[in-house]
Amino acid sequence: MGTTTKTVPPVTLTQRHLLGIEGMPVTEIEALLARSHFFASVIDGSIPDSDIPQSLAGKTVVNLFFENSTRTRVSFEVAAKKLGGSVLNIAVSGSSVKKGETLIDTATTLNAMHPDILVIRHHAAGAPLLLSRHVDAAVINAGDGRHEHPTQALLDALTISRKFGRIAGLKIAICGDIANSRVARSNLYLLGTLGAELRLVSPATLLPADIDQFGVPVFTDLESGIADCDIVMMLRLQTERMQGREIPSQHEYFNMFGLDEAKLMRAAPQALIMHPGPMNRGVEIDSVIADDIDRSLITTQVEMGVAARMACLEALIVGASI
Protein backbone atom coordinates (compact mmCIF):
# COMPACT_ATOMS: atom_id res chain seq x y z
CA MET A 1 0.00 0.00 0.00
CA GLY A 2 0.97 3.61 -0.35
CA THR A 3 2.39 3.05 -3.82
CA THR A 4 1.43 5.11 -6.86
CA THR A 5 2.55 3.01 -9.75
CA LYS A 6 1.18 2.48 -13.22
CA THR A 7 1.62 -1.25 -12.93
CA VAL A 8 -1.06 -1.85 -10.26
CA PRO A 9 -3.48 -4.16 -12.07
CA PRO A 10 -7.30 -3.92 -12.09
CA VAL A 11 -8.87 -5.99 -9.35
CA THR A 12 -11.17 -8.96 -9.64
CA LEU A 13 -13.37 -9.90 -6.70
CA THR A 14 -14.72 -13.28 -5.68
CA GLN A 15 -18.18 -11.73 -5.28
CA ARG A 16 -20.13 -10.39 -8.22
CA HIS A 17 -21.55 -7.57 -6.07
CA LEU A 18 -20.09 -5.17 -3.52
CA LEU A 19 -22.54 -5.37 -0.65
CA GLY A 20 -20.29 -4.97 2.38
CA ILE A 21 -16.81 -5.25 3.85
CA GLU A 22 -17.73 -8.01 6.31
CA GLY A 23 -16.26 -11.24 5.01
CA MET A 24 -14.26 -9.61 2.21
CA PRO A 25 -10.85 -11.31 1.99
CA VAL A 26 -7.97 -9.09 3.12
CA THR A 27 -6.21 -9.70 -0.21
CA GLU A 28 -9.17 -8.16 -2.06
CA ILE A 29 -9.31 -5.16 0.29
CA GLU A 30 -5.59 -4.59 -0.24
CA ALA A 31 -5.89 -5.01 -4.01
CA LEU A 32 -8.77 -2.50 -4.17
CA LEU A 33 -6.74 -0.04 -2.10
CA ALA A 34 -3.66 -0.45 -4.29
CA ARG A 35 -5.75 0.18 -7.39
CA SER A 36 -7.42 3.16 -5.65
CA HIS A 37 -3.95 4.62 -5.04
CA PHE A 38 -3.34 4.41 -8.76
CA PHE A 39 -6.59 6.26 -9.51
CA ALA A 40 -5.79 8.82 -6.78
CA SER A 41 -2.59 9.61 -8.68
CA VAL A 42 -4.67 10.36 -11.74
CA ILE A 43 -6.93 12.63 -9.69
CA ASP A 44 -4.05 14.56 -8.09
CA GLY A 45 -2.45 15.02 -11.51
CA SER A 46 0.68 12.93 -11.00
CA ILE A 47 -0.45 10.52 -13.73
CA PRO A 48 -2.03 11.95 -16.92
CA ASP A 49 -5.73 11.55 -17.60
CA SER A 50 -4.85 9.77 -20.84
CA ASP A 51 -3.64 6.85 -18.73
CA ILE A 52 -7.11 6.22 -17.30
CA PRO A 53 -8.30 2.90 -18.71
CA GLN A 54 -11.75 3.34 -20.24
CA SER A 55 -12.94 0.09 -18.74
CA LEU A 56 -16.54 1.30 -18.46
CA ALA A 57 -16.81 2.33 -22.14
CA GLY A 58 -20.19 1.22 -23.45
CA LYS A 59 -21.35 0.35 -19.90
CA THR A 60 -24.20 1.91 -17.96
CA VAL A 61 -24.23 2.69 -14.26
CA VAL A 62 -27.58 3.44 -12.61
CA ASN A 63 -27.60 5.43 -9.38
CA LEU A 64 -30.70 4.50 -7.39
CA PHE A 65 -30.77 6.58 -4.21
CA PHE A 66 -33.71 6.17 -1.83
CA GLU A 67 -32.01 8.42 0.73
CA ASN A 68 -30.55 11.89 0.29
CA SER A 69 -26.98 12.11 -0.87
CA THR A 70 -24.65 14.70 -2.34
CA ARG A 71 -21.11 13.40 -2.17
CA THR A 72 -21.69 9.68 -2.62
CA ARG A 73 -23.99 9.97 -5.62
CA VAL A 74 -21.89 12.59 -7.39
CA SER A 75 -18.73 10.66 -6.55
CA PHE A 76 -20.05 7.49 -8.22
CA GLU A 77 -21.11 9.58 -11.21
CA VAL A 78 -17.72 11.26 -11.61
CA ALA A 79 -15.92 7.93 -11.09
CA ALA A 80 -18.00 6.14 -13.73
CA LYS A 81 -17.57 8.97 -16.26
CA LYS A 82 -13.80 9.09 -15.77
CA LEU A 83 -13.76 5.40 -16.73
CA GLY A 84 -15.79 6.12 -19.87
CA GLY A 85 -19.16 4.87 -18.59
CA SER A 86 -22.65 6.35 -18.94
CA VAL A 87 -24.58 7.24 -15.79
CA LEU A 88 -28.29 7.41 -15.10
CA ASN A 89 -29.47 9.02 -11.89
CA ILE A 90 -32.88 7.89 -10.70
CA ALA A 91 -34.42 10.49 -8.43
CA VAL A 92 -36.70 8.45 -6.20
CA SER A 93 -38.87 11.46 -5.41
CA GLY A 94 -39.75 11.71 -9.11
CA SER A 95 -40.06 7.96 -9.74
CA SER A 96 -42.79 5.33 -9.47
CA VAL A 97 -41.51 4.46 -5.99
CA LYS A 98 -43.62 7.41 -4.86
CA LYS A 99 -46.64 5.70 -6.42
CA GLY A 100 -46.12 2.69 -4.18
CA GLU A 101 -43.98 0.47 -6.40
CA THR A 102 -42.06 -2.15 -4.41
CA LEU A 103 -38.28 -2.40 -4.47
CA ILE A 104 -38.52 -5.67 -6.40
CA ASP A 105 -40.79 -4.15 -9.05
CA THR A 106 -38.48 -1.16 -9.38
CA ALA A 107 -35.55 -3.57 -9.70
CA THR A 108 -37.30 -5.66 -12.34
CA THR A 109 -38.12 -2.54 -14.35
CA LEU A 110 -34.54 -1.27 -14.17
CA ASN A 111 -33.23 -4.74 -15.00
CA ALA A 112 -35.21 -4.70 -18.25
CA MET A 113 -33.11 -1.71 -19.31
CA HIS A 114 -29.96 -3.83 -18.89
CA PRO A 115 -27.71 -1.64 -16.76
CA ASP A 116 -24.27 -3.06 -15.99
CA ILE A 117 -23.97 -1.71 -12.45
CA LEU A 118 -26.69 -0.61 -10.03
CA VAL A 119 -25.56 1.62 -7.18
CA ILE A 120 -28.18 1.64 -4.45
CA ARG A 121 -28.65 3.61 -1.24
CA HIS A 122 -31.62 2.60 0.87
CA HIS A 123 -32.93 3.23 4.37
CA ALA A 124 -33.44 -0.51 4.97
CA ALA A 125 -30.49 -2.74 5.86
CA GLY A 126 -30.34 -5.60 3.36
CA ALA A 127 -32.02 -3.76 0.46
CA PRO A 128 -28.91 -4.04 -1.78
CA LEU A 129 -28.71 -7.80 -1.10
CA LEU A 130 -32.38 -8.20 -1.98
CA LEU A 131 -31.92 -6.18 -5.15
CA SER A 132 -28.87 -8.24 -6.15
CA ARG A 133 -31.07 -11.34 -6.22
CA HIS A 134 -33.45 -9.81 -8.75
CA VAL A 135 -31.20 -8.10 -11.28
CA ASP A 136 -28.51 -9.16 -13.73
CA ALA A 137 -26.40 -6.08 -13.02
CA ALA A 138 -23.65 -6.00 -10.43
CA VAL A 139 -24.94 -4.19 -7.32
CA ILE A 140 -22.95 -1.75 -5.19
CA ASN A 141 -24.19 -0.86 -1.74
CA ALA A 142 -23.91 2.92 -1.32
CA GLY A 143 -25.26 2.70 2.24
CA ASP A 144 -28.09 0.55 3.61
CA GLY A 145 -29.71 1.68 6.85
CA ARG A 146 -27.42 1.06 9.81
CA HIS A 147 -25.72 -1.85 8.07
CA GLU A 148 -22.78 -1.08 5.74
CA HIS A 149 -21.27 1.56 3.48
CA PRO A 150 -18.35 -0.32 1.93
CA THR A 151 -17.06 2.35 -0.47
CA GLN A 152 -16.94 4.89 2.36
CA ALA A 153 -14.69 2.56 4.37
CA LEU A 154 -12.45 2.04 1.32
CA LEU A 155 -12.13 5.77 0.71
CA ASP A 156 -11.41 6.35 4.40
CA ALA A 157 -8.68 3.70 4.32
CA LEU A 158 -7.27 5.23 1.13
CA THR A 159 -7.23 8.70 2.72
CA ILE A 160 -5.45 7.36 5.81
CA SER A 161 -2.92 5.31 3.91
CA ARG A 162 -2.03 8.18 1.57
CA LYS A 163 -1.47 10.46 4.55
CA PHE A 164 0.33 8.07 6.90
CA GLY A 165 1.74 5.52 4.42
CA ARG A 166 0.18 2.73 6.48
CA ILE A 167 -2.88 1.69 8.44
CA ALA A 168 -1.55 -1.10 10.64
CA GLY A 169 -0.70 0.08 14.14
CA LEU A 170 -2.39 3.49 13.83
CA LYS A 171 -4.58 4.48 16.78
CA ILE A 172 -7.95 5.43 15.34
CA ALA A 173 -10.94 6.58 17.42
CA ILE A 174 -14.37 6.34 15.78
CA CYS A 175 -16.56 8.76 17.71
CA GLY A 176 -20.22 9.62 18.03
CA ASP A 177 -23.44 8.02 16.91
CA ILE A 178 -22.08 4.50 16.36
CA ALA A 179 -25.46 2.77 16.69
CA ASN A 180 -26.90 4.45 13.63
CA SER A 181 -23.74 4.50 11.55
CA ARG A 182 -23.09 2.18 8.62
CA VAL A 183 -19.81 4.07 8.16
CA ALA A 184 -18.64 2.97 11.61
CA ARG A 185 -19.62 -0.64 10.93
CA SER A 186 -17.83 -0.86 7.55
CA ASN A 187 -14.78 0.86 9.02
CA LEU A 188 -14.70 -1.50 11.99
CA TYR A 189 -14.43 -4.40 9.56
CA LEU A 190 -12.03 -2.76 7.13
CA LEU A 191 -9.64 -0.83 9.38
CA GLY A 192 -9.72 -3.71 11.87
CA THR A 193 -8.79 -6.22 9.14
CA LEU A 194 -5.88 -4.00 8.11
CA GLY A 195 -4.48 -3.92 11.65
CA ALA A 196 -5.50 -0.48 12.95
CA GLU A 197 -5.78 -0.11 16.72
CA LEU A 198 -9.43 0.92 16.89
CA ARG A 199 -11.45 2.47 19.70
CA LEU A 200 -15.07 3.50 19.81
CA VAL A 201 -16.25 6.59 21.65
CA SER A 202 -19.96 7.13 22.18
CA PRO A 203 -22.63 7.78 24.77
CA ALA A 204 -23.96 4.43 26.02
CA THR A 205 -27.30 5.26 24.43
CA LEU A 206 -25.71 5.44 20.98
CA LEU A 207 -23.88 2.10 21.05
CA PRO A 208 -25.27 -0.83 19.07
CA ALA A 209 -26.41 -3.88 21.05
CA ASP A 210 -23.94 -6.16 19.22
CA ILE A 211 -20.90 -3.97 19.86
CA ASP A 212 -19.00 -6.71 21.76
CA GLN A 213 -18.59 -8.81 18.60
CA PHE A 214 -16.01 -6.32 17.30
CA GLY A 215 -13.72 -6.78 20.32
CA VAL A 216 -12.81 -3.09 20.27
CA PRO A 217 -12.40 -0.95 23.43
CA VAL A 218 -15.38 1.30 24.05
CA PHE A 219 -15.18 4.69 25.81
CA THR A 220 -18.10 6.76 26.99
CA ASP A 221 -15.90 9.80 27.52
CA LEU A 222 -14.51 11.61 24.45
CA GLU A 223 -11.32 12.92 26.01
CA SER A 224 -10.19 9.54 27.35
CA GLY A 225 -11.30 7.83 24.14
CA ILE A 226 -9.20 9.97 21.81
CA ALA A 227 -6.15 10.12 24.10
CA ASP A 228 -2.97 9.65 22.01
CA CYS A 229 -4.94 8.79 18.87
CA ASP A 230 -3.44 9.43 15.42
CA ILE A 231 -6.86 9.82 13.84
CA VAL A 232 -10.12 11.06 15.29
CA MET A 233 -13.02 10.06 13.05
CA MET A 234 -16.21 11.93 13.92
CA LEU A 235 -19.68 10.73 12.93
CA ARG A 236 -22.84 12.69 12.31
CA LEU A 237 -25.65 12.48 14.80
CA GLN A 238 -28.03 10.58 12.52
CA THR A 239 -31.28 11.94 13.90
CA GLU A 240 -33.26 10.42 11.01
CA ARG A 241 -32.56 6.96 12.50
CA MET A 242 -32.91 7.92 16.16
CA GLN A 243 -35.90 7.28 18.39
CA GLY A 244 -35.72 10.69 20.07
CA ARG A 245 -34.50 9.91 23.59
CA GLU A 246 -30.84 9.08 23.03
CA ILE A 247 -29.43 12.49 23.98
CA PRO A 248 -30.71 15.22 26.28
CA SER A 249 -30.16 17.96 23.64
CA GLN A 250 -27.79 18.70 20.77
CA HIS A 251 -26.22 21.43 22.89
CA GLU A 252 -25.39 19.01 25.70
CA TYR A 253 -24.19 16.45 23.19
CA PHE A 254 -21.73 18.99 21.80
CA ASN A 255 -20.49 19.81 25.29
CA MET A 256 -19.71 16.18 26.02
CA PHE A 257 -19.07 14.52 22.65
CA GLY A 258 -18.47 17.38 20.21
CA LEU A 259 -14.88 17.70 19.04
CA ASP A 260 -13.38 21.13 19.69
CA GLU A 261 -9.85 22.44 20.08
CA ALA A 262 -9.73 21.87 23.82
CA LYS A 263 -10.77 18.21 23.63
CA LEU A 264 -8.52 17.58 20.64
CA MET A 265 -5.49 18.46 22.82
CA ARG A 266 -5.81 14.97 24.28
CA ALA A 267 -5.14 13.26 20.95
CA ALA A 268 -1.62 12.72 19.56
CA PRO A 269 0.13 16.04 18.73
CA GLN A 270 -0.15 15.50 14.95
CA ALA A 271 -3.60 13.87 15.07
CA LEU A 272 -5.77 14.29 11.98
CA ILE A 273 -9.53 14.61 11.83
CA MET A 274 -11.98 12.76 9.59
CA HIS A 275 -15.73 12.97 9.03
CA PRO A 276 -17.71 11.24 6.26
CA GLY A 277 -20.01 14.24 5.86
CA PRO A 278 -22.47 15.78 5.88
CA MET A 279 -21.30 17.55 9.04
CA ASN A 280 -23.47 19.04 11.72
CA ARG A 281 -21.27 21.91 12.77
CA GLY A 282 -21.59 22.71 16.44
CA VAL A 283 -23.19 19.31 17.13
CA GLU A 284 -20.46 16.67 16.66
CA ILE A 285 -17.66 18.95 15.46
CA ASP A 286 -16.63 22.56 15.91
CA SER A 287 -16.06 24.60 12.73
CA VAL A 288 -12.58 25.65 13.81
CA ILE A 289 -11.49 22.00 13.75
CA ALA A 290 -13.48 21.02 10.66
CA ASP A 291 -12.00 23.87 8.60
CA ASP A 292 -8.41 23.58 9.84
CA ILE A 293 -6.62 22.59 6.62
CA ASP A 294 -3.61 21.32 8.56
CA ARG A 295 -5.62 18.90 10.65
CA SER A 296 -8.81 18.09 8.78
CA LEU A 297 -8.87 15.39 6.10
CA ILE A 298 -12.54 15.96 5.31
CA THR A 299 -12.03 17.41 1.82
CA THR A 300 -9.37 14.80 1.02
CA GLN A 301 -11.94 12.13 1.90
CA VAL A 302 -14.26 13.51 -0.78
CA GLU A 303 -11.43 13.51 -3.35
CA MET A 304 -10.41 9.99 -2.46
CA GLY A 305 -14.02 8.88 -2.81
CA VAL A 306 -13.78 9.23 -6.57
CA ALA A 307 -10.58 7.15 -6.71
CA ALA A 308 -11.91 4.39 -4.47
CA ARG A 309 -15.17 4.20 -6.44
CA MET A 310 -13.28 4.03 -9.73
CA ALA A 311 -11.46 0.95 -8.39
CA CYS A 312 -14.75 -0.63 -7.27
CA LEU A 313 -16.68 0.08 -10.49
CA GLU A 314 -13.80 -1.23 -12.58
CA ALA A 315 -13.47 -4.38 -10.46
CA LEU A 316 -17.13 -5.29 -10.95
CA ILE A 317 -17.00 -4.66 -14.70
CA VAL A 318 -13.74 -6.55 -15.17
CA GLY A 319 -15.11 -9.39 -13.03
CA ALA A 320 -18.31 -9.60 -15.07
CA SER A 321 -16.38 -10.03 -18.31
CA ILE A 322 -14.29 -12.98 -17.12
Q: What is the binding site for ligand NCD (CB under 6 A)?
A: 71-72, 143, 149, 152, 182-183, 236, 238, 276-277
Please identify the residue of the shown chain whose CB is closest to the bound ligand NCD. Answer: 236
254, amino acid identity: F
Output the smallest distance, CB 46 to ligand NCD, in A. Answer: 26
CA distance 317 to 315: 6
Output the smallest distance, CB 172 to ligand NCD, in A. Answer: 17
Output the smallest distance, CB 47 to ligand NCD, in A. Answer: 26
Output the smallest distance, CB 277 to ligand NCD, in A. Answer: 5
**Closer residue to ligand NCD, CB minimum distance, 10 or 282:** 282
Please check whether residue 32 is in contact with residue 312, taking contact to mean a CB–CB distance below 8 angstroms.
yes
CA distance 94 to 101: 12
DSSP string, 39-68: HHHHHTTSS-GGGS--TTTT-EEEEEESS-
User: How far from 154 is each of 130, 225, 304, CA to CA, in Å?
Assistant: 23, 24, 9
**Closer residue to ligand NCD, CB minimum distance, 8 or 232:** 232
Please check whether residue 80 is in contact with residue 56, taking contact to mean a CB–CB distance below 8 angstroms.
yes
**Closer residue to ligand NCD, CB minimum distance, 8 or 174:** 174
Reported as half-sphere exposure (CB side, CA atoms, 13 A), residue 119 has a value of: 29
**Closer residue to ligand NCD, CB minimum distance, 59 or 148:** 148
**Closer residue to ligand NCD, CB minimum distance, 35 or 147:** 147
Total count of residues recorded for the chain: 322
**Closer residue to ligand NCD, CB minimum distance, 8 or 153:** 153
Edge-to-edge, what's the strand order for the sheet holding 272-274? 218-219, 197-201, 171-175, 231-234, 272-274
Output the smallest distance, CB 24 to ligand NCD, in A. Answer: 18
Output the smallest distance, CB 228 to ligand NCD, in A. Answer: 26
Output the smallest distance, CB 75 to ligand NCD, in A. Answer: 9
Q: Enter the DSSP assignment of 168.
A: T
**Interhelix angle for 26-43 vs 298-320, to 10°?**
120
**Closer residue to ligand NCD, CB minimum distance, 20 or 319:** 20
